[in-house]
Amino acid sequence: MQSLPETGPVRFREVLSHFASGVVVVTAVVDGTPLGLTCQSFTSLSLDPPLVLFCPAKTSRSWPLVSQAPHLCINVLSTEQQALSDAFARSGSDKFAGVDWSPTPAGAPALAGAHAHLEASVRDVFEGGDHWIVTCTVSALDAAPDLAPLLYYRSSYRALGEGGPARV
């Protein structure tokens, strides 16, 4: 094992990429405009109360706006949605151009074709180095069990496959 100071951030990031995860897009409507950003740093936090968390970078231009919205939607992406994932990762672009969505009960954008949706509201925001740690209370949810999850592993999109996560 190498000590981190010797290896530096590139190696740190490379080793972290060995942790496979799903991909979510966090969306909200702010002043009538839908906004969002792609996140891999999403996890369930608590069952009772129903809490989840995600970690937006302090450099994000969308998060300061999205954080003002009373309600968010956490969209768990499905296998066919890697283009959507990339679109919501492009800072400064019109991320919702051509994107099909419908409002959650409280009006946050639920992306069509997602594997699951969680409507939530921000509970706490904690400082976490170059990112924020955002905890949210879930207020509504649904899932599409006939779809499959989009995975992200070693810096590329993957899909569940018989022989393990296959590139998509």
Ligand X SMILES: Cc1cc2nc3c(=O)[nH]c(=O)nc-3n(C[C@H](O)[C@H](O)[C@H](O)COP(=O)(O)O)c2cc1C
| Residue for token pair 């129903």 | 50
- Report d(CA 145, CA 27) in Å as an integer: 21
Site residues (vs ligand X, CB under 6 A): 23, 37-41, 55-57, 60-63, 85-86, 88-89, 91, 152
Nearer to ligand X, 96 or 152 (CB): 152
**If residue 123 lies in a helix (H) or strand (E), which one and from where to where?**
strand 116-128
**Toward ligand X, which CB reaches closer, 84 or 138?**
84
- Looking at the Cβ atoms of 86 and 105, the one nearer to ligand X is 86
d(CA 120, CA 106): 9
φ and ψ of 10, to 5 deg: -65, -45
Task: Specify the DSSP class assigned to residue 1.
Answer: -
Q: Using the minimum distance from each CB to ligand X, give the nearer residue, 27 or 85.
A: 85
Torsion angle, CA of 161/166/167/168, rounded to 10 degrees? -10
Closer residue to ligand X (CB): 12 or 105: 12
Residue 158: strand pairing partners = 151, 167
Cα angle, residue 130 at apex, residues 52 and 4 outer, rounded to 5°: 105
* Smallest distance, ligand X to C-beta of residue 3, A: 25
